[in-house]
A and B are shown apart, each in its own frame.
Chain A
Amino acid sequence: MKPVFMTYTKKDLINLAVCMFLSVLIIPTFIKTEYWYTSILIPWLCLALATIGQQIVMGYTGQLALGAAGFMAAGAFAMFNLILRVPDLGFVGSLIVSGLIAAAFGILFGLPSLKVRGIYLMVATLASQFFIIWMIDKFGWFKNYDSSGIITAQDIVILGKPFTTPLAMYFVCLAVTTVLTLLAMNMARGSTGRNWMAVRDMDIAAESMGVSLLRTKVQAFAISAFYCGVAGALFAFCYLKSLEPVAFDIKLSFKILFMCILGGLGTINGAFIGAAFILLFPVLLNAIGNNVFHGAIDATIISSIEQVIFGGLMIIFMIYEPLGMAKLWENLKQSIRLRLSSSSVKNLKSSAQKSE
């Protein structure tokens, strides 16, 4: 396919237009209930963004990291402090700087990746998870010496205009997610992404071909943490509307890991599919529990069943489709295309026979 505009092909531009059309026009006109924005769409966008961060380090660079929630916490609390202490920076400026602060943590805790891989790296990144949460918890300065432990997030104000309704916050999340997703796609397609994938597929071979391991890995960790940091800030300011370190515990890290793996390693759309699945499935399960069994099943049992199903799916995907749901989606499109094209070929043949 030939690029039409910059490096984008016609297909990319159509995809982008469809996504934008759906998210900017269709969703706001047809969905009026606040519940959808506050409980599904906003967290979906935030978590998808964090999952893209996880994708960059895990799906593209092949480094098994398990600390996304720690970087999210760093981003969220950096955001809180920047708005509190440096109000001149504005919302967007604070968002970028808090992402950069998270990126600094990413570089620091990504350094062990130069020496180790696999589960060894996982343990090293667990250190970041526990350390960042502990640091925020123990030093009162980060929480502005608030003793209650839960701080209310400031209102979002961009260029003097408040963005406090669910719909407005949805647009904020949408704008940030769109820009960062496009950026991530560009990086993944360009030389940066090629280097990441070369390191993932065989780091020693990549190094011998002149790809700097130091640069590539540290870059991946920094960018990944930047994405997680921005996602964490949005998560706290648009979804939770409060800041507490407990919200970013190891469970959230595992959740993002699941979104990344079930969605499909090494794909950007997989991040959105995975996040939607992990977020919507419990809603569906609860609805089944309430409507089919009329609350006869205990809520704790439902959440246990949800855990069993997530774990089971993880095993099933690892066995049958390690590339996750994005690959299933790709296969589905492929088979439809094949069927369509084969039927059109038949039509052609039959019409050719008739004309003879």
Chain B
Amino acid sequence: MVDELLFFMEVLVGGLLAGTMYSLVALGFVLIFKASATFNFSQGAMVFFSVLAFCGFMQDFNIPFVLAFILAALLMVVVGLCTERFVLRPLMNASEDTVLMATIGLGYVLEGLAQAAWGVEVRRLDLGIGDFPVPWIADNLKLFISALDITAGLVAAIMIIGLFLLFKYTKIGLGLRAVADDAGAASSIGIPLKHIMLLVWSAAGVVALVAGCMWGARAGVQFALVDLALKALPVLIIGGFSSIPGAIIGGLIIGAVEKVLEVYIGPFFGGAIEGWAPYVLAIFFLLYRPEGLFGEKIIRRV
């Protein structure tokens, strides 16, 4: 009985920590949605692009770790700059569906560019943190939990706190919230819309880079990352598109439910239900609470 409980705890904790990896991807979506009410479908491609660039700098040019990370982050700022100038500004007054489709196109561009520049083969990314159980926890609590999962959890926690403070207590954060509420009104009282957009897209790019590092260390840096990042969408639906804590809670729920279902119910159906379980869970949330756990209520007027 105790063993079973321990096993369940292990599955649950493993799922929760793996969920923070989804949260990291979802965080990038939320940042952009909060500031511009744009669904950035290319966030997954940004994850892939940034981490592939990071690996490329390290492995092809032998640039040291920290410098390569800074270079990749700068590259994401450039991507943000180009996106703002060439995609978002011309689409300023377009409907949200049009912008969404444009970001699907942007995703394609980023994926193609990344592969053209750094090749299509799977790259290994070694962060110096192994994807194996931490001995200390295994000895004391009898739980086998991966060091990488714990790191991802910590990184996610730090980023959330940082972003939360940024949004809540700084002048930039106030500007961001004002733009999110009503871009027209915000620009009329002198908030520089361009700078805010650039800032948000760069921040989302850096978040994508961090998420990509975590995913890359686990699964290798490869094209499949784009598909994995799609799972951030159900996370957003559960948490709400405009809430940073929502992204985290949503990620935890998806991670935990997915793992528990896979371990306890999956075997009856031949396994691999992880592939669709998050989406079906998202559908149930949509039916009962379309705005998500923490999202603002969607009001549409004729």
Which residue numbers of A lie inside 8 Å of B, CB to CB? 62, 64, 112, 115-116, 118-120, 122-124, 126-127, 130-131, 134, 137-139, 202, 204-205, 208, 250, 254, 257, 261, 300-301, 303-315, 318-319, 322
Q: B112, A308: Cβ atoms under 8 Å? A: yes
Q: A318, B94: Cβ atoms under 8 Å? A: yes
Q: B112, A307: Cβ atoms under 8 Å? A: yes
Q: A318, B112: Cβ atoms under 8 Å? A: no
* Interface hub of B90, B91, B112, B282 (most chain A Cβ within 10 A): B112
CB-contact partner of B100 in A115, A118, A313, under 8 A: A118
Which stretch, B115-123, B157-165, B207-215, touches the partner chain A? B115-123
Asked whether A257 and B290 contact (CB < 8 A) given A130-B275, A138-B269, A318-B94, the answer is no
Q: B101, A314: Cβ atoms under 8 Å? A: yes
CB-contact partner of A124 in B91, B230, B273, B286, under 8 A: B286
CB distance from A110 to the nearest CB of B (A): 11
CB-contact partner of B109 in A130, A250, A315, under 8 A: A315
Binary contact track B90-109/A, C-beta < 8 Å → 1, others 0: 11001011111110111111
Q: B105, A313: Cβ atoms under 8 Å? A: yes
Q: With the chains together, A55 CA to B280 CA distance in Å?
A: 25
Q: A318, B120: Cβ atoms under 8 Å? A: no
Q: With the chains together, A124 CA to B87 CA distance in Å?
A: 27
CB-contact partner of B234 in A116, A123, A202, under 8 A: A123
Tally of A-B Cβ pairs under 8 angstroms: 132
Q: A124, B279: Cβ atoms under 8 Å? A: yes
Q: A307, B237: Cβ atoms under 8 Å? A: no
Q: A120, B276: Cβ atoms under 8 Å? A: no
Q: B108, A118: Cβ atoms under 8 Å? A: no
Secondary structure of the A contact surface, majority rule: helix
Q: With the chains together, A287 CA to B105 CA distance in Å?
A: 24
Q: B86, A315: Cβ atoms under 8 Å? A: yes
Q: Which single residue of chain B is at the shortest CB-CB distance from A123?
A: B233
Determine whether B128 belongs to the interface, using a CB cutoff of 8 Å to chain A.
no
Q: B113, A304: Cβ atoms under 8 Å? A: yes
**Which chain B residues numbered 26 to 55 have a C-beta less than 8 Å away from chain A?**
39, 41
CB-contact partner of B104 in A138, A308, A314, under 8 A: A314
Q: A307, B115: Cβ atoms under 8 Å? A: yes
CB-contact partner of A301 in B109, B116, B275, B282, under 8 A: B116
Determine whether B171 belongs to the interface, using a CB cutoff of 8 Å to chain A.
no
Q: A311, B105: Cβ atoms under 8 Å? A: yes
List, in ascending order, chain B residues with CB within 8 A of A205's CB. Answer: 302
A-B contact pairs, 21 of them (CB 8 A): A64-B97, A116-B290, A118-B96, A123-B233, A124-B282, A127-B279, A138-B269, A300-B115, A300-B120, A301-B116, A304-B111, A304-B115, A305-B112, A307-B111, A311-B104, A311-B105, A315-B109, A318-B98, A318-B101, A319-B90, A322-B98
List, in ascending order, chain B residues with CB within 8 A of A307's CB. Answer: 108-109, 111-112, 115
List, in ascending order, chain A residues with CB within 8 A of B104's CB. Answer: 254, 257, 311, 314
- Interface magnitude class on chain B: 35 or more
Determine whether B287 belongs to the interface, using a CB cutoff of 8 Å to chain A.
yes
CB-contact partner of A204 in B112, B287, B300, under 8 A: B300
Asked whether A120 and B116 contact (CB < 8 A) given A261-B101, A322-B98, the answer is no
Q: B286, A115: Cβ atoms under 8 Å? A: yes
Q: With the chains together, A248 CA to B151 CA distance in Å?
A: 36
Binary contact track B60-104/A, C-beta < 8 Å → 1, others 0: 000000000000000000000000001100110010111111101
Q: Which single residue of chain B is at the shortest CB-CB distance from A300?
A: B120
Q: With the chains together, A306 CA to B280 CA distance in Å?
A: 33
List, in ascending order, chain B residues with CB within 8 A of A319's CB. Answer: 87, 90-91, 94, 102
Q: With the chains together, A131 CA to B274 CA distance in Å?
A: 10
List, in ascending order, chain A residues with CB within 8 A of B126's CB. Answer: none
**Which chain B residues numbered 147 to 192 have a C-beta less than 8 Å away from chain A?**
none
Q: B105, A314: Cβ atoms under 8 Å? A: yes
Q: B98, A116: Cβ atoms under 8 Å? A: no
Q: Which single residue of chain B is at the shortest CB-CB distance from A137?
A: B272
Q: Which single residue of chain A is at the shortest CB-CB distance from B226?
A: A250
CB distance from A173 to the nearest CB of B (A): 28
Besides A304-B115, A308-B108, 13 more A-B contacts (Cβ < 8 Å) are A112-B286, A115-B286, A123-B233, A123-B279, A123-B282, A134-B275, A134-B276, A138-B269, A204-B302, A205-B302, A303-B115, A311-B109, A312-B105
Q: With the chains together, A115 CA to B87 CA distance in Å?
A: 30
Q: Which single residue of chain B is at the shortest CB-CB distance from A130?
A: B276
Determine whether B263 belongs to the interface, using a CB cutoff of 8 Å to chain A.
no
Q: B102, A315: Cβ atoms under 8 Å? A: yes
Q: With the chains together, A204 CA to B287 CA distance in Å?
A: 18
Determine whether B283 belongs to the interface, using a CB cutoff of 8 Å to chain A.
yes
CB-contact partner of A315 in B105, B115, B237, B290, under 8 A: B105
Q: A138, B86: Cβ atoms under 8 Å? A: no
Q: With the chains together, A120 CA to B291 CA distance in Å?
A: 10
Q: B234, A308: Cβ atoms under 8 Å? A: no
Q: A120, B290: Cβ atoms under 8 Å? A: yes
Determine whether B131 belongs to the interface, using a CB cutoff of 8 Å to chain A.
no
Q: A304, B101: Cβ atoms under 8 Å? A: no
Q: A314, B108: Cβ atoms under 8 Å? A: yes
Q: Which single residue of chain B is at the shortest CB-CB distance from A306?
A: B112
Asked whether A127 and B101 contact (CB < 8 A) given A112-B286, A311-B112, A312-B109, the answer is no
CB distance from A103 to the nearest CB of B (A): 19
Q: With the chains together, A309 CA to B101 CA distance in Å?
A: 15
CB-contact partner of A134 in B101, B119, B237, B273, under 8 A: B273
List, in ascending order, chain A residues with CB within 8 A of B98's CB. Answer: 318, 322
CB distance from B40 to the nearest CB of A (A): 10
